[in-house]
């Protein structure tokens, strides 16, 4: 920026000094405006920044200067004492009387130098006391990851293998933080009563053989789900199934619906994810499903 302003000022100055050219008032105002901008650019904070390395070097030089000044003062005192002794001996020895005036001048010069050095020492000491302490920049901390936060939450990918019981089989599930309740692909849904309670029978598609597996579960409640492809609500039955993933096993609510048109038979919603898992969409199938069943606990509704 400074270089551009300086070149522009030189151009205006050259144009004004050319034969037959006059310094028009408007051009003169522009010239002064550029001068002000150049002045402000020179006073900008960015131009006064000092690197940490330079600051440390300045502080070190102040310390070295203070130490060197102290050494010079001590040498001056020693020289002054030696010259004073020489002057005394010259006064005692009459043959050395011509040297006395020269020695006195040297002593006067030494006294002046001593005073100056003491003043310099005071100023250097004052500067050293006011110097900005330099501390080396702290080591850059390693980036924090969810594994390193100490949280009890586990990281899951966008798609994971989960065990659903019943029937105790492993399904491919989509982790969806936008869904409130988890869902499973259920076919041939039929409601019935058993011992005065509402039950439902439905079929689950075996993930490997494609066979229909009949399941009967107690109906926990009904819910309304807003469809993403329309503005209509879909009324669904809700049952409780056991969900196993890694070291976590929960009894959670699942809605029953036909997901044959979707890519994944199981959808894991916030009723399972919250307080337990964090979804990393860049990962998939990162946590193996254990064959043994840990102690089950009921998911928060």
- Is there a contact between 284 and 161 (Cβ–Cβ < 8 Å)? no
Cβ neighbours for 238, distance < 8 A, ≥ 6 positions apart:
181, 219, 220, 221, 222, 223, 253, 254, 255, 256
User: Residue 7 class from Cβ within 10 Å (0-12 exposed, 13-18 middle, 19+ buried)?
Assistant: exposed
pLDDT value of residue 294: 44
pLDDT value of residue 18: 54
| Block mean pLDDT (10 aa), the chain, length 301 | 60 57 58 64 50 68 75 77 74 67 73 75 68 53 40 82 92 91 94 95 94 95 77 86 85 93 92 86 76 51 55
Rounded CA-CA distance 210/110 in Å is: 108
Rounded CA-CA distance 64/67 in Å is: 5
Q: Among all chains, which residue has been given the structure tokens 């075996």? A: 206
- Is there a contact between 100 and 90 (Cβ–Cβ < 8 Å)? yes
| Helix or strand (DSSP H, E) at 88 | helix 52-92
Q: What is the pTM of this model?
A: 0.47
Q: What are phi and psi of 101, to 5 degrees?
A: -60, -40
pLDDT value of residue 285: 79
């Amino acid at each position: 920026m400074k270089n551009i302003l300086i070149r522009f000022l030189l151009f205006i100055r050259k144009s004004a000094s050319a034969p037959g050219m006059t310094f028009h008032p408007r051009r003169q105002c522009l010239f002064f405006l550029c001068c002000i901008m150049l002045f402000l650019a020179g006073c900008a904070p960015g131009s006064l920044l000092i690197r940490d390395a330079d600051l440390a070097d300045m502080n070190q030089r102040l310390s070295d200067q203070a130490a060197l000044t102290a050494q010079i003062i001590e040498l001056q005192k020693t020289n002054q004492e030696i010259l004073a002794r020489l002057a005394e001996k010259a006064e005692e020895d009459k043959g050395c009387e011509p040297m006395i005036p020269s020695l006195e001048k040297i002593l006067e010069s030494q006294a002046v130098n001593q005073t100056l050095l003491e003043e310099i020492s005071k100023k250097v000491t004052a500067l050293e006391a006011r110097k900005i302490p330099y501390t080396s920049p702290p080591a850059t901390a390693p980036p924090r990851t969810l594994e390193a936060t100490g949280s009890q939450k586990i990281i899951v990918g966008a798609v994971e293998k989960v065990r659903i019981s019943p029937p105790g089989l492993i399904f491919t599930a989509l982790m969806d933080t936008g869904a409130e309740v988890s869902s499973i692909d259920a076919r041939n849904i039929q409601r019935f009563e058993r011992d005065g309670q509402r039950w439902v029978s439905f079929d689950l598609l075996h993930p490997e053989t494609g066979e229909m597996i009949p399941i009967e579960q107690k109906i926990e409640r009904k819910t309304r789900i807003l469809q993403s492809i329309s503005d209509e609500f879909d009324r669904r039955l809700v049952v409780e199934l056991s969900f196993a993933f890694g070291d976590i096993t929960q009894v959670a609510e699942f809605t029953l619906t036909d997901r044959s048109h979707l890519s994944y038979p199981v959808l894991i919603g916030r009723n399972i994810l919250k307080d337990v898992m964090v979804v990393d969409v860049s990962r998939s199938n990162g946590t193996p499903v254990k064959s043994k069943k840990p102690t089950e606990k009921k998911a928060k509704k």
